[in-house]
Structure 1
Amino acid sequence: MYQPAEDSFLICDAVAKLKNLNNKKILEMGSGSGVIAEALINNHVDEKNLTLVDINLEAIKNLKQKFPKSKVVRSDLFKKIHGKFDLIIFNPPYLPTDKKEDKESKLATAGGKIGSEIINRFLKQANTYLEKNGKIILLTSSLTKRIDWQDYEKKILEEKKIFFEELVVWELTKY
């Protein structure tokens, strides 16, 4: 399970600034420890309106315990997701795969050979699950190469330079 770090906190900063979320249906992909879900609840989101998704069984057990009123789903991206959402949030694994990294750690941090494979799968599928006028909040890194933005209009919500990379939180909408 991914432990919160600078990227998680940057998304939390962006989420804290979002307005009118109280009656919105929200999906958080890759919920991990639940730190972003907590930021949403602190921003007046009703826990019942949250769908929390992760591929990691340990994360799922933790999320069910921490957020008993939320829908918690173990899924590889959208495979087991039904319905549409007003907001989809994703702090994806975005680093290029490191062959020395253990399997558990790779699930949380590695986005594929060049870092964008999981992001590109997500972007290709996400529009199907967005309500009309829905939005996506997505974090990327300057280390992630060749992101296929599909037909999304992009707006930067937050950015931060840390160590050897720049993190950006994007708001995406369909044209």
Structure 2
Amino acid sequence: MSAPTAAQAMAAAAARLRAAGVPDPARDARILLAHAASVDAARVTLIAPEEIAPEIAERFEQLIALRAVRVPVSQLIGSRGFYGRDFRISRDVLDPRPETETLIELALSAPFERALDLGTGSGCILVTLLAERRTATGVGADLSEAACLQASANAVLHEVAARAEVIQSDWFDKVEGRFDLILSNPPYLAATEMADVAPELRDHEPAMALTDGLDGLSVYRIIADQAQGYLTAEGRVLVEIGWQQGDAVCAIFRDAGWAGVTLAHDLDGRPRVVCADTPA
């Protein structure tokens, strides 16, 4: 009996993933076969008519089995694209999301020389900003030592390590100096929401990056209360939010005395980033 072709293997894998409730199973099957075969995902169609080698079939089977229990694709292949760059990813950090690119666009819309990324995780925000602004420097802070190592590795990968300092810190605790830009994509899910999130998040991404264990707003209160002590006179604060949190987070910043509090939307038209100028 001959081995299945790559196309047949992908079709069978997609059916298996679909039965497991995986969103967009055909795409995931294609990406994982490309990874198993060590080819670019765009070239999978070129090998589709060919019989799949036994060692590739075995690797592919292992990857599909893990994806079927909802391990994220980025963790299986070890990387995720974000703002035109690939970032190394592990289960120790949050998987970069396309909606976070809204935060990047807003950050790049005005000049800055020094940035602080609170809860840096993979470092995708800080590293992207430094890669886009070749004269800027910045600090990434995270409570997780594993996340700090991941962020440092991504800074090296994208050749910004000389301008990026990664520190282990509980939000502002170990941060020193002042910054033109303070950014954060904090844990904004309320504890009560965690049961309803996708298994990829709930079971395979770090809980501390997803929820504060409370109402999902506690980190915004910390940033609103303390950021002014770390911001330059013309500095800005940008925080990503859950799409239903716009009014609440804006109110937190206004109540803390911030001026120029505005709400920006992502490409889907959902509230995504709260921007605040220096306190009034």
TM-score category by the smaller chain?
Answer: 0.7 to 0.9
SS of the residue 1:111 aligns to:
coil
For 1:83, the equivalent position in structure 2 comes to 177
For 1:57, the equivalent position in structure 2 comes to 145
Q: Quick check: which has more Rg, 1 or 2?
A: 2
Q: CA deviation at 1:44?
A: 1.6
SS of the residue 1:122 aligns to:
helix
After superposition, where does 1:45-124 map in structure 2 within 5 Å?
45-46=134-135, 49-67=137-155, 68-69=161-162, 70-98=164-192, 101=202, 105-124=206-225
Is the Cα contact below 8 Å between 1:7 and 1:91 reproduced in 2? Answer: no
For 1:14, the equivalent position in structure 2 comes to 106
Is the Cα contact below 8 Å between 2:124 and 2:151 reproduced in 1? Answer: no
For 2:262, the equivalent position in structure 1 comes to 155
Q: CA deviation at 1:42?
A: 3.5
Is the Cα contact below 8 Å between 1:29 and 1:52 reproduced in 2? Answer: yes
For 2:275, the equivalent position in structure 1 comes to 171
| Structure with the higher helix share, 1 or 2 | 2
TM-score, normalised by the number of residues in structure 2? 0.54
Q: CA deviation at 1:52?
A: 0.9
Segments of structure 2 that go 5 or more residues without pairing to the other structure are: 1-92, 156-160, 196-201
Q: Which amino acid aligns with 1:123?
A: A
TM-score, normalised by the number of residues in structure 1? 0.82
Q: CA deviation at 1:54?
A: 1.1
Task: Report the RMSD for the aligned CA atoms in angstroms.
Answer: 2.4
Does residue 230 of structure 2 align to residue 129 of structure 1? Answer: yes
CA distance in 2, matches of 1:167, 1:39: 22
Q: Which amino acid aligns with 2:187?
A: P
CA distance in 1, matches of 2:267, 2:217: 19
Segments of structure 1 that go 5 or more residues without pairing to the other structure are: none
CA distance in 2, matches of 1:112, 1:146: 17
Deviations for 1:95-123, whole angstroms, at most 9, x for unmatched residues? 10146556963201113421101111121
Does residue 132 of structure 2 align to residue 43 of structure 1? Answer: yes
Q: Which has the higher contact order (CA 8 A, sep 6+)?
A: 1
For 2:65, the equivalent position in structure 1 comes to none
SS of the residue 2:223 aligns to:
helix
Q: CA deviation at 1:84?
A: 1.1
| Structure with the higher strand share, 1 or 2 | 1
Is the Cα contact below 8 Å between 1:30 and 1:52 reproduced in 2? Answer: yes
Q: Classify 1:102/1:113 alpha carbon distance in 2 versus 1 (closer, same or farther; 3 Å).
A: farther
Q: CA deviation at 1:76?
A: 0.7
Deviations for 1:109-166, whole angstroms, at most 9, x for unmatched residues? 113421101111121111111111211111122444844211112123x31376xx93
Give aligned pairs, total.
168
